[in-house]
Amino acid sequence: MDLEILKKLNFSDKSANVYLALLRLGPSSVRKLANFCDLNRGTVYDVLKDLQEKKVVSFYKKDTKQCFVVEDPEKLFTILQNKKQDIEKTGRQLDNFILELQAIHNSGDKRPVAKYFDKNNLQKILEDVLDTCQADDNDEKKEYRIYSAEGVRPFLYESFPTFSDVRIARNIFVKVIAIGEGGELRGLDERKWLKKENSIEIEKDTFIIIYPGKTAYISMGGDGEPVGVVIENRGVYNTQKLIFDNLWKKI
């Protein structure tokens, strides 16, 4: 007999064994069950109490002793039904609980959250840019900003060559301040270039993406491979956005 079915109904190994023993033996005393199952009487008492709470076992008195008997096995369906109701109730409670957890998770305004990405995962940064911009409800115009560095650009889009096409399809705008040569307009974008005299100390191997609530930095590591970090913090985002917009007006 497959005891796993009983275990799925929250029967322990001992509960399942006592339940089946009682089925086989018929009305039985605690002593009789303890001997048959090779358990001490205290354990059997506890198990029988649990089975009574499940309403699959009852007892009656015979002389001065208690005799326990199994209820109709169809009572197991009642356990299953109660389990379903508990799951449905938990599901309803979980909806609100998840909202509370998300509120805590999204409180990056109060504590910066940093996530790191190696060369093989840079595509996830681009995917997050698109998803975050599309989900942002703070502005009707879905837009982000970029400091585009020629030294990083080829590596960043290598794993997501259709990025611009997807961005345009999602109606997401971008403003780009290009550092170094290269870059082209693809649609729903504006681009300005920093001239050499305006970018004396600006490195050409750091790519910065400023998007709602987050700032991504992608740069070349010492081993010549690109690495990225995304900082999720509204304060950092607002500061970077302010600096970008002021610089945008001046070039």
CATH number of the domain that 64 lies in?
Answer: 1.10.10.10
Mark whether 163 and 226 lie in a shared domain.
yes
Q: What is the pLDDT of residues 87-120, one digit of tens each?
A: 888 888 887 778 777 666 665 556 678 899 998 8
Q: What's the helix, strand, coil split of the chain in %, to 5?
A: 50, 25, 25
How many structural domains are present in the chain? 2
32 lies in the same domain as 125? no
**Considering the domain boundaries, does residue 85 fall inside one?**
no
Domain that holds residue 16: 4-74
Contact 92, 19 (CB under 8 A): no
Spatial separation of the C-alpha atoms in residues 164 and 67, rounded to whole Å:
77
Q: Domain for residue 63, yes or no?
A: yes
Which pTM was predicted? 0.56
Pair (127, 218) in one structural domain? yes
Burial-class residue 251 by CB neighbours within 10 Å (0-12, 13-18, 19+).
exposed
Mean of pLDDT values over 195-210:
67
pLDDT digits (tens, 9 = 90+) for 129-188: 999 999 876 666 899 999 988 778 878 888 899 999 999 999 999 999 988 776 678 889
What CATH number corresponds to the domain at position 201? 3.30.870.10
Q: What is the rounded CA–CA span in Å between residue 176 and residue 149?
A: 10
Residues 20 and 132 placed together within one structural domain of the fold: no
